[in-house]
Structure 1
Amino acid sequence: MITWGLISAATAFATGPYSFMAIRFLLGLAEAGLFPGFVLYFTYWFPDSYRARINSGFTLALPIAVASGAPISTAILGLDGMWGLKGWQLMYILEAIPTVLIGIAVFFYLTDRPAEARWLSAEERGWLGNRIAGEQKQIEAQHNVGLLRSFWDPKVMLLSLNYIGIVTASLGMLLFLPTIVKELGISNMEVGWVTMIPYICGAVAMVFCGWLSDRIGERRWTLFWTCLLSTAGLIVAGLTIGTWWSVVGMSIAAAGFYGTKGPFWSMPTMFLTGTAAASGIAWINSLGNLGGFFGPSMVGWAKTLSGSYAGGLYALAVCALISAVISLFWLRIPRALAASEEYPVPAE
């Protein structure tokens, strides 16, 4: 986080295309391991039956940041000329400061594992450490996926394909969301407020689906229904482009996109542990993020060919539907133990 914030702030001092590309490259290196690292970190602290809501709570920052980022950035751009800097330069610098400060706080406050946490009692450290260690042993005994196998394991590849579909559909819609909303004939300021609606729906769905997945002890079906919800929302949005119903459709789709986060990112750690979990999660995340190219490209091409965003939204709906089908028929990952089962205390 500290490196990410510092490099992001350095963007303010880019002087041309080459320096800008160099900074963006370094930024990509800094941020690449952050999300997979957090998903892995949660396995050190939270038993499997809690992870969907934990992953949802963590990724809740995404829709909140997107919804609040636009008005904050707009306000900072209005400070143009302060300290002799352009508004866009101030935006990069001021928005990087909280990231660096939080990174420093995390470094000193958080520990790698519960056993090192001085703010837990000895009894709490022992109970949590034993429960997680017992869970990890059962997962290793049942699935036995090593480091090298984590790159080509069928379940890892299916999760990657599933994630490509989700990311393609979500980023394809969300990156064009303001442009599609603009077709309602409203002002730029109103566009900013209206585009917050899908993100708010997504935030609510994210929390609910994470809680529900843990509550019923089921990942695959929750993932299936959220992908199917995204499919339905995208179809509604495509059929009603230029009307307020399209906002309703995109809000439904956003609820589905963000609702997948908790159950999806709880699935790799149902069969991966240790270094295999680190490499497998990173591999799934890396392959899935290819959807960040496919989705916007599909919508852009559809707009160029047909003059409407509807075709692009239908194509994204197909991607979400494919993810739903993968979730339902092929992501059958047996759990090491039931959600309600106590994990055994490992032998000394």
Structure 2
Amino acid sequence: MNADTVRRKVARRLLPPLFLMFVLSFLDRTNVALVKTHLATDAGIDAAAYGFGAGVFFVGYALLGVPSNLVLHRWGARRWLAVLMFVWGLLSCAMALTSSPTGFYVLRFLLGAAEAGFFPGVILYITYWFPAADRGKATGMFQSAVAVSSIIGNPVGGYLIGLHGLAGLDGWQWMFLLEGAPTVLLALAVPWLLTDRPEDARWLTDEEKALLTARIEADRPTDDAQPPRRIREIVGDSRVLRLMFVYFAIQIGVYGVTFWLPALVGRIEGLNDVGIGFVSALPWVCALLGVLVLPWLSDRSGNRRGPLRLALVLTAAGLVGGALLPPVPAVAALCVAAFGFLGAQPVFWTVPPTLLTGVQMAGTIALISGFGNLGGFLGPYVMGVTESATGSGTNGLYAITLIVAAGAAVVTGFRWAGLRASPTTQQQQTEKEEITDDPHRALR
């Protein structure tokens, strides 16, 4: 038995259900992008109202992220994630009842509140199971669900919209119903698919549990790292504040594009709903490459700052191209942006666990995620207001680009442990990898 065997065993057991859960999560929060014009016609939701409603999801998300993650840390991942999935699945189905801007706002807010604990909860959960040297790849595999969800979801959503008139329902209503129902069903199975902690895993031997636990404990911040302990210290820590802004910059790029990509693709002449869905999936193919390649490079080199900065620069460049170029090359530019903004995220999430532990880490991950995802509110809202004021949503991409570029500048100024593995850390990791015959050696 060696560390590689245990790592593969854990990955095979836990990453597939987490991946599928995130596919449904991202689908349920972003499928509204495909029905923007239908909501305008059937529910009186204009561009500004749509932008506000699409983004208000992240207000609920930001408000409840921290308490939700603290519950998960105390109660366990498998039960809490199952509850969250069941509730947001029902709310996603309820989106089919939208009949006015007010109802749209309320349902989107509640959906965000229900999903608030899922993503930061899984990021925390990954730290329970994967040592620092493997977290970039593990998080990348998990976050590749965003790209897969969009690759699959856009064409499937376009097809479901085509069910217009079936059983007296509009096509967009069928889309919400049939994309929310699988979430409810999967939620019922989550308690049997996940295991809370390594010590609870009946599918690991005692030796495998000891080895995995030793490796994870060795990665916790030392006393020399002086992690903040109190809420005031955490919120006032300049490292945490910078991480919050960088994640905000990433998310404003992600959702500014996500909610408006179908509208941008719609400028290409001759495309129907299904065609728009397929073309809208292309940037997410590139995003899938980014979320696999950049974390692999980061884990392999131990360098977090370089790949993260590169990802943000590519995002900014792609957004500028999406605003300036004609429709077809603009889609190609957004492919570059997607490679960057999705590849940035798993690299980014390797850093917070180097600063905090335990309940402080649970709260801080949710705090960063919640604040960062306010970019998901501001991005669509800026795009919507800009379109209403100027007649072109692409003008809003310029403001978003400036924020992403500022995020790249902040990353350039990062100077703390965790952004590049020190020779000592690499040596310790090598020693841990060599433990084969006596896994308890790491505990001595």
171-180 or 109-118: bigger deviation: 171-180
Query: Structure 1: where are the runs of 5+ without partners?
Result: none
Change over 3 Å in CA distance of 1:85–1:185 after alignment to 2: closer
**Which residue in the other structure is 2:127 paired with?**
43
Residue 231 of structure 1 deviates from its aligned partner by 1.5
Give the aligned residue type for 2:266: K
Residue 338 of structure 1 deviates from its aligned partner by 2.2
Change over 3 Å in CA distance of 1:193–1:262 after alignment to 2: same
> What secondary structure is seen at the aligned counterpart in 2 of 1:325?
helix
Alignment of 1:221-300 (within 5 A): 221-240=306-325, 242-300=326-384
45-54 or 290-299: bigger deviation: 290-299
Determine the C-alpha separation between the residues in 1 that align with 2:324 and 2:172. 37
**Which residue in the other structure is 1:195 paired with?**
280
Deviation track 1:207-241 (CA, whole Å, cap 9, x = no partner) reads 1111111111111111101001112222223331x
**Which residue in the other structure is 1:109 paired with?**
193
- 1:139/1:271 contact within 8 Å kept: no
| Residue 226 of structure 2 corresponds to residue 143 of structure 1 | yes
Counterpart of 1:134 (choices 211, 214, 218) is 218
Alignment of 1:40-189 (within 5 A): 40-79=124-163, 87-136=171-220, 138-139=221-222, 141-148=224-231, 149-188=233-272, 189=274
**Which residue in the other structure is 1:326 paired with?**
410
| Residue 131 of structure 2 corresponds to residue 26 of structure 1 | no
Determine the C-alpha separation between the residues in 1 that align with 2:219 and 2:211. 12
Deviation track 1:269-324 (CA, whole Å, cap 9, x = no partner) reads 11121111111111111111121232233334444555545543332221111110
Deviation track 1:118-175 (CA, whole Å, cap 9, x = no partner) reads 1112211110011112222x44552322241223321111011111112222222232
101-110 or 29-38: bigger deviation: 101-110
> What secondary structure is seen at the aligned counterpart in 1 of 2:428?
coil
Give the aligned residue type for 1:345: A
Determine the C-alpha separation between the residues in 2 that align with 1:183 and 1:82. 29
- 1:77/1:87 contact within 8 Å kept: yes
Residue 83 of structure 1 deviates from its aligned partner by 6.2
Change over 3 Å in CA distance of 1:331–1:5 after alignment to 2: farther
Determine the C-alpha separation between the residues in 2 that align with 1:18 and 1:324. 37
Determine the C-alpha separation between the residues in 2 that align with 1:13 and 1:247. 32
Residue 243 of structure 1 deviates from its aligned partner by 4.1
Determine the C-alpha separation between the residues in 2 that align with 1:103 and 1:165. 31
Residue 13 of structure 1 deviates from its aligned partner by 5.3
Change over 3 Å in CA distance of 1:293–1:21 after alignment to 2: closer
Determine the C-alpha separation between the residues in 2 that align with 1:254 and 1:55. 17
> What secondary structure is seen at the aligned counterpart in 2 of 1:146?
coil
Residue 267 of structure 1 deviates from its aligned partner by 1.2
Deviation track 1:22-71 (CA, whole Å, cap 9, x = no partner) reads 54443222211110100000000000111111111111111211222132
**Which residue in the other structure is 1:215 paired with?**
300
Determine the C-alpha separation between the residues in 2 that align with 1:310 and 1:14. 27
Determine the C-alpha separation between the residues in 2 that align with 1:51 and 1:156. 19
Deviation track 1:87-135 (CA, whole Å, cap 9, x = no partner) reads 4444333322322333232212321111111111221111001111222
Query: Structure 2: where are the runs of 5+ without partners?
Result: 1-84, 433-440
- 1:238/1:314 contact within 8 Å kept: yes
Give the aligned residue type for 1:338: T
**Which residue in the other structure is 2:442 paired with?**
345
Determine the C-alpha separation between the residues in 2 that align with 1:140 and 1:4. 40
- 1:229/1:256 contact within 8 Å kept: yes
Determine the C-alpha separation between the residues in 2 that align with 1:176 and 1:21. 18
297-306 or 124-133: bigger deviation: 297-306
Determine the C-alpha separation between the residues in 2 that align with 1:186 and 1:252. 24
| Residue 290 of structure 2 corresponds to residue 205 of structure 1 | yes
Determine the C-alpha separation between the residues in 2 that align with 1:109 and 1:306. 49
> What secondary structure is seen at the aligned counterpart in 1 of 2:349?
helix
Residue 327 of structure 1 deviates from its aligned partner by 0.6
Give the aligned residue type for 1:199: W
40-49 or 63-72: bigger deviation: 63-72
Change over 3 Å in CA distance of 1:341–1:100 after alignment to 2: farther
Give the aligned residue type for 2:154: A
Determine the C-alpha separation between the residues in 1 that align with 2:103 and 2:394. 38
